[in-house]
Amino acid sequence: MATTMAETKVSTVVEAPAERVWELIGSFHGLGDWHPDLPESSLGNELTGNAIGAVRVFEFDGTVLHETLLGYDEDARSYTYSFPDGTFHLDGYRATLRVTPVTELGASFVEWKATYDAEAAHRKESGDLVRGVFASGLAALRERFAA
C-alpha cells in the first residue's frame, strides 16, 4: 500500500513561565503524570531518566506502546521520541514536545508535533488519534496552570 508523509502539530499558550512548565513535562518518563489520557509508564530497558535510548512503556486499552527517546535538550526544553513502525498504522513516527518562553507575558508556548508515514486507508484515523492525544494533553496542561 502507498504511504504518504504527514505531520500533526498542536500548540497552546500556558500561563506559567517556561521553567515551571518544563519542570512538569520535561521528564520523558513522566508523561503519564500530567497527561489525563495516559497511564504512568514503566521502564522498557535499563536506561532511566532522560538518557538517549531510554524506553517508556504504556499499557492501556489492551495496547502496549513502547516509545524510545531519540533526543533530549534541557536548554532548549525539548525532547524527541519514536515508536515502532506499524503502531497505530504509522511508520517512521517521530514526535517532539517543546516549551518556549513567551517573555512578554511570562508565559510559555508549548508545541507537540509529529511526523510519520501513513497508509492512505488509515491516514485520517491515525492523524485524528495523534491530534487527539496531543490536544487533550496540552489542554490539561493549560488548565493545570490557569490562574
Total domains present in the chain = 1
Domain CATH for 38: 3.30.530.20
**Could you tell me the three cell numbers for 142?**
493549560
Mean pLDDT, all residues of the chain: 93
- E strand segments, 3-145: 3-14, 42-43, 55-60, 63-73, 78-82, 90-102, 107-119
pTM of the entire predicted model:
0.93
> What would the pLDDT profile of 90-104 be if each residue is shown by its tens digit?
899 999 999 999 999
Range of the domain at 7: 3-144
Residue 87: what are its φ and ψ, rounded to 5°? Answer: -65, 125
